[in-house]
Amino acid sequence: MALIILGYAVFAVLGYTKSVVVNKNIYLINRKLKENFLTSKMANVTEEQEDFESGNLSFFLNDLKLLEDNYWRQIFALLGSIVMTIGTLTYALYSNVYITIIFLLFMIIPTLAPKLFTKSIQAKTDTWSQNNQILSATVKDLLHGALLLRRYNVTGGFSKRMNRSISEMESSNASLKNQIALSNNFIGMLFSTFSYLPIGLGIYFTITGKITLAQFVAIQYSSSWILNGFNQIITSWNTISSTKSIRTKIHQLKPIKAIASTENTVVMNKLSANDISFNYDQKQVFHDVSFSVTQGEKILIGGKSGIGKSTLIRMILQELQPTSGKFLFNNHSYSQVDSYNNFGIVGQTPIIFEDSLKDNITLGDSTANDQKVIIALKQSGLEEFANETSLQMRINENGHNFSGGQLKRIEIARALYFNRQLLLIDEGTASLDPETATSIHESILNNKSLTVIEVDHHIPDDVKKLYDKVYELSSTGLALQN
């Protein structure tokens, strides 16, 4: 009795040790895989990518979890089954080669069965992944606009969309699980059916004296283990096949591009646009745009909505290429990496992270010097936060504990911290009240170390006086206003 209890204890310890080893390896795999996925996506993002946030969030939370359960864990289960099967098969062959081969021959048909379900499982996996992405986008929209819906007392206004997204996702999830279950149970039925036939032959050979009863019993028990091992191998392989599209997306991740560094900044003398034209969908947006800005100069480019002001900013950043013409930095051509190293950008909607004030300015730079951050805060007009205590203040989700003007100044401080000599402002104060907008403009335009190109059509006349040059953009070109 003591030996039996000890044996169970040993198996329990071995089972626990196996789980610890598997979970440790799954942890290492998931950590590396998720780090690489996020880093690759962030390093290769472009403005043209649709559903970038919701699509990648869905893949990160859902598809990678499916990959863990249906691929990595199944790989370890597959390895364990292979080891068990090979060990038992070796013992069975040692007992009687002839009868063991008969058992193996009857297992050939069940091993071919997964091919009948591979395409259907993959199709249902793709449907599940697409519906998960749709649900992620729906949830993101609803949570983002939750306060607005509540203010209008229509929290159920998008209930049809929500219910449809949830229903389709859960339905596709259930359908995928059912298809895998159907495949596994069908395979199990085949294994069970074909395992009884060789048992009959074994009994016959025992009766006729071709094998001993002991050999038959040994082979029967061994064959049962072999059968279970083969069944687990096929089941695991079948489940692994359901992750093909996910693994393809992982393999297609683009290599990480060069990351902009402040070490690559150069002294700016001049940026010039020479006869820039841009067509979109074979329609002319603007034509023969030329201007230049020298170090410390501030220029404003106005124009009606849709005329291409934001497009012009993106072309300066080398994120879009003009149909004709060329941008020159210090009288030389430059790359997108060069622009990221030397130009700062302030948009209409501030990009704020749910983190400390310091990390929002340094963008998580662990080697950041506090005094350099404090200087950037002072230069951007955030003197009240220019101290070491305030640097550790946590900014809440979407910056709700800061005012709109403060958030805009954080973006300016960010550009100053990273030594961006040219500041590109794309309707940066359009969402602010006139007093705050004027205050921010004064702090920017009076900073002699900054070169500024701003595009906006909301700038009042008294602020326009602070610019060195004011242009008006139209489809026929750029006209100097003062």
**pLDDT confidence of residue 265:** 65
Domain of 20, CATH number, reads 1.20.1560.10
Instruction: Give the residues across from 285 on adjacent strands.
Output: none
Same domain, 210 and 310: no
- 232 and 281 in a single domain? The answer is no
Q: Which pLDDT value is given to residue 468?
A: 92
Domain boundary among 199, 216, 251: 251
Distance CA(302)–CA(38), nearest Å, equals 37
In which region does residue 25 sit, left (phi positive, over 0), alpha (psi from -120 to 50) or beta (all else)?
Answer: alpha
Residue 268 has a CB neighbour count (10 Å cut-off) of 18
Contact between 459 and 303 (Cβ < 8 Å): no
Predicted local distance difference test score (pLDDT) of residue 98: 67
CA distance 103 to 194: 9
Q: What are the start-end ranges of the H helices in 106-158?
A: 108-112, 118-144, 146-151
Q: Give the per-residue pLDDT at 114.
A: 73
How far apart, in Å, are the Cα atoms of 409 and each of 8, 233, 349, 432?
67, 60, 12, 12
| 257 part of a folded domain | no
Euclidean distance between CA atoms 77 and 82, whole angstroms: 9
In a domain, 467, yes or no: yes
Residue 3 included in any domain: no
CATH number of the domain within which 370 lies: 3.40.50.300
Could you say which DSSP state residue 156 is in? T
On whether residue 364 sits in a domain, the answer given is: yes
Residues 112 and 229 in one domain: yes
CB 359 within 8 Å of CB 353: yes
Q: Does 269 lie in the same domain as 245?
A: no
**Which of 185, 217, 251 is at the close of a domain?**
251
Q: Which of 350, 100, 121 is nearest to 205 (CA)?
A: 100
Report which of 441, 375, 447, 454 is spatially closest to residue 408, judged by C-alpha positions.
441
287 belongs to a structural domain: yes
Co-location of 183 and 293 in the same domain: no
**152 and 180 fall within a common domain:** yes
Same domain, residue pair 117 and 207: yes
Q: Is 331 left (phi over 0), alpha (psi -120 to 50) or beta?
A: left
* Confidence (pLDDT) at 295: 92
d(C-alpha 280, C-alpha 282), whole Å: 5
In a domain, 258, yes or no: no
Both 294 and 334 in one domain: the answer is yes
* pLDDT score at 276: 92
**How many domains in the chain?**
2
Domain end call among 251, 272, 294 = 251
Total residue count of the chain as it appears in this document: 482
- Residues 237 and 336 reside in one and the same domain: no
Is residue 355 domain-shared with residue 291, that is, in the same domain? Answer: yes
Instruction: Give pTM, 2 decimals.
Output: 0.72
Per-residue pLDDT of the chain (482 residues; tens, 9 = 90+): 677 777 767 767 777 788 888 889 989 998 899 888 888 888 787 777 777 887 888 888 889 998 999 999 999 988 888 887 777 777 767 766 766 776 767 666 776 777 778 888 888 888 988 898 888 888 888 887 776 677 667 777 788 888 888 999 899 989 988 988 888 888 778 777 776 666 666 677 778 776 677 666 666 666 666 667 777 787 788 788 888 888 988 888 887 655 445 455 678 889 999 999 999 888 888 888 999 999 999 999 998 888 889 999 999 999 999 999 999 999 999 998 889 889 988 888 888 888 899 988 988 887 888 999 999 898 888 889 999 899 999 988 778 888 888 888 888 888 888 888 899 999 888 777 888 888 888 888 888 888 999 999 888 888 889 999 999 998 887 888 86
Nearest-angstrom CA–CA distance, 473 and 383: 36
Is 61 part of a structural domain of the chain? yes
CA 270 to chain centre: 37
Which residues are bridge partners to 110 per DSSP?
none
Residue 6 lies in a domain: no
Q: Would you give the DSSP letter of residue 145?
A: T
Same domain, 218 and 247: yes
Full residue range of the structural domain in which residue 287 is found: 264-480
Q: Are residues 191 and 297 in the same domain?
A: no
Q: How far apart are CA 434 and CA 448, in angstroms?
A: 23
Residue 105: strand, helix, or coil: helix
Number of Cβ atoms within 10 Å of the Cβ of 317: 17
